[in-house]
Structure 1
Amino acid sequence: MNFNDLKLYLIIVVAGATLWFAKEAYEYNKLQNYLNNIEENQKTIKESNELTFDQQLELAMERQRKLQIESNKNKADKYMREVRSKYTKEEFKEKLDVCNYFTDLYLNNRTKENEIRYVKACDPIYH
C-alpha cells in the first residue's frame, strides 16, 4: 500500500466515523425530543386530573372552538382559491363588485326579493 492509498483509506474511515457520529447524535436528539414530549403529556394529564370537571369541560370547549375556527378558515381559504382559479382577475373583480352592490342593497332594504338577488349575485353556484 502506498501513501496515496493510505491517505484515501484514512479519509474514508474518518468520513464514515463522522457520518456514524452524526447519525448517533441525530438519533439521541430524536430520543430526547420524544422523552420530552412524553414528560409534557404526563404533566398535562396530571394537571388535567387536578382540574375540576367544569374546568376540564371549559378547556375542552375552548380547544374545540379553536379547532372549529381553524377548520372554517381552511374551508373558506380553499373555497376562495377554487373561485379565483375558476375566473380570471377581471371576471372575479366584476363578480365581486356585483356581489358587493347586491349586499349593500340587501342590507339597506331587507326584502325577500333583495335577499334572492343577493344570494344569486354572491354565491358562485348560480354563476
Structure 2
Amino acid sequence: MNFNDLKLYLIIVVAGATLWFAKEAYEYNKLQNYLSSIKETQKKTKESKALTFEQQLELAMERQKKLQIASNQNKADKYMRKLHSKYTKEEFKEKLDICDYFTDLYLNNRTEENEIKYVKACDPMYH
C-alpha cells in the first residue's frame, strides 16, 4: 500500500464518519422536535382540561370558524382555477368586464330587472 492509497483510504473514512455524524445529528434534532411537539400537545391538553365547558366550546367554535374560512377559500380558489381553464384570458377578461358593468348598474339602480341582468352576467352557470 503506497502513500496515495493511504490518503484515499483516510479521505473515505473521514467522509464516511462525517456523514454518519451528520445523520445522527439530524435524527437527534428530529427526535427533539417530536418530543417538544408532544410536550406542547400535553400542555395544551392540560390547559384545556382546566378550562370550563363554555371556554372549551368557544375555542372549538373559533377553530371551526377558521376551518370553514379555509375551506371556503379553497373552494373559491378551485372554482376560479376551473373558470380560468375554461376560458381564454381574453374571454375571461371580457366576462369580468361585463360582470363589473352590470354590478355597477345594479348597485346604482336596484331594480329586479337589473338584478337579473347582474346575476346572469356574473354567474358562470348562465354562460
TM-score (norm 2): 0.91
What is the CA-CA distance between 1:110 and the residue it aligns to?
3.1
C-alpha separation between the residues in 2 aligned to 1:44 and 1:100?
A: 48
What is the CA-CA distance between 1:66 and the residue it aligns to?
0.9
4+ residue runs of structure 1 moved beyond 4 angstroms? none
Equivalences for residues 9-88 of structure 1 within 5 A:
9-88=9-88
Render the CA deviation track for 1:74-114: whole Å, top value 9, x for unaligned: 21122112212222222112101111122223332231x33
What is the CA-CA distance between 1:23 and the residue it aligns to?
0.4
| SS of aligned partner of 1:75 | helix
TM-score (norm 1): 0.91
C-alpha separation between the residues in 2 aligned to 1:2 and 1:124?
A: 79
The answer to whether 1:109 aligns with 2:105 is no
Tell me the percent identity: 83
Question: How many corresponding residue pairs?
Answer: 126
Render the CA deviation track for 1:19-41: whole Å, top value 9, x for unaligned: 00000000000000000000000
In structure 2, the partner of 1:121 is 121
CA RMSD of aligned residues (A): 1.3
Q: What are the ranges of 5 or more consecutive residues in structure 1 without an aligned counterpart?
A: none
